[in-house]
Amino acid sequence: MDSQTPDDYLRQAIHLSEEMIALASAGDACRTDAGCGIVFGSMRDKAYKVRSLAQNELKLHQESGASNADEPNADEPPPQPSTT
């Protein structure tokens, strides 16, 4: 059984969205046509949206006391899922 909490998954979503933002920025910096700009711009927009939604949900959990007190800080990298 998975021992991760919903907050763990929200932190993973934040981490992934930050990776998407970095990827979109790097791709946009070296793009050669407008089509790539559309792809990278869309990726960046969606990543910012996902990150904002996940951060807001984490905040709601913390305010309601739904988070575990011993969970890592939201600024720390999330635990990675086990592949076994």
Predicted confidence (pLDDT) per residue in 4-16, tens digit: 999 999 999 999 9
Per residue, what are the HEC states of 4-66? CCHHHHHHHHHHHHHHHHHHHHHHHHCCCCHHHHHHHHHHHHHHHHHHHHHHHHHHHHHHHCC
Domain range list for the chain: 6-64
Determine the 3-state secondary structure of 79 from DSSP.
Answer: coil
**Listed range (7-16, 49-58, 73-82) with the worst mean pLDDT:** 73-82
Global pTM value: 0.73
